[in-house]
Amino acid sequence: MHLDSITIPEGVTSIGEKAFVGQHGTITSLILPKSVASIGEYAIGCFQNGIKYTLDSTAVVYGYTDTIAELYATNNPITFEELNSTVEYLAGDVNADGKFNFADVVVLQKWLLAKPDVVLENWKAGDLCADDVLNVFNLCLMKRKLVEQGL
């Protein structure tokens, strides 16, 4: 099976060297969130031809302006396409299932308690205080919002 497009989820901070290099093709479309702060050599848009790494001229990196995604594309003659930075999401929907309900409160509470294997699919949706920090104050606002909605 050949995979040619990948969307990296928000929260991933690093892509390792040669992460998407293959001998029979390459990832030619990669969507990167703002959270990615480092990308290793030959990670994107390259394929291995024997011992040589070759750039795939059809590769495209989708990301945000002034981020490592744009810098990587610029430094490695790869096409860069800017993503719209105004992402719409439902406030409180940290599990990204398209609805805000009790399950979102439970997930945030477990995440705040550092329970293993708990993932916030959309942490920004849980930032009801709008201060780019997730804490107990956001959890309280989520609970209040549930009560107001009669859930």
pLDDT tier at 113, thresholds 50, 70, 90: very high
What's this model's pTM, rounded to 2 decimal places? 0.52
Per-domain boundaries in the chain? 5-82, 102-149
pLDDT tens readout for residues 72-106: 989 988 889 988 755 567 899 998 888 999 999 99
Q: Give the type of residue at 131.
A: D
DSSP state at residue 27: -
Return the structure tokens found at 55.
């750039």
pLDDT tens readout for residues 41-81: 888 777 777 777 777 778 888 888 889 999 998 998 888 99
The three-state secondary structure class of 55 is strand
Per-position DSSP letters for 71-120, written without gaps between them: HHHHHTT-EEEEPPS-----TT-TT-SSS-SHHHHHHHHHHHTT-TT---
Quote the radius of gyration of the chain (alpha carbons, Å). Answer: 19
